[in-house]
Amino acid sequence: MADALEQLAEWATPLLQRMEPAGRKAAMLEVATYLRKSQAQRIADQRNPDGSPYEPRRPREQLVKRQGAIRGQMFMGLRKARNLQRKATADMASVAMNPRVSYVARVHHYGLRDKVDRRDRNSPVVKYASRELLGYTQQEIKDIEDILLQHRT
């Protein structure tokens, strides 16, 4: 995937250099908005950038015992616009997690060890499965190329 990003950067650099700074910023803002929406949709679909599904949660005893207990989807809060922030300047576009939720995102993205409930001192420490929250798909790279070509004129 890094190769595809490098190829996109090589392809887009001369195109962006010919644009005025205001035009570049508008293009980067549209790219960042598109990426935020596509990343949020992929997180909602519970898919890694390569298309594989996220590893399902482990069952919790408290919920198994209670009849009718419903668990929400994973990462419902992380994919909100206030937590999945876009940033754009004339030189770059980025999508990143809000610093308040970045700890949770980092633990799940890389599959690190953490307490189940960080507020409880006696909470067990578990190793979470790796679920890639942010990343690029081939379709997203093609769509970014299309957005940049639209802003060229």
72: DSSP letter: P
Q: What is the pTM of this model?
A: 0.82
Q: How does pLDDT run across 12-65, given as a tens digit for each residue?
A: 888 888 889 898 999 999 999 999 999 999 999 999 999 999 988 877 665 555
Q: Which residues of 70-85 are buried (b: 16+ CB within 10 A; e: fewer)?
A: eeeebbeebbeeebbe
pLDDT at 72: 72
The C-alpha angle 142, 33, 131, rounded to 5 degrees, equals: 75
pLDDT at 69: 56
Better-predicted residue by pLDDT, 3 or 93: 93
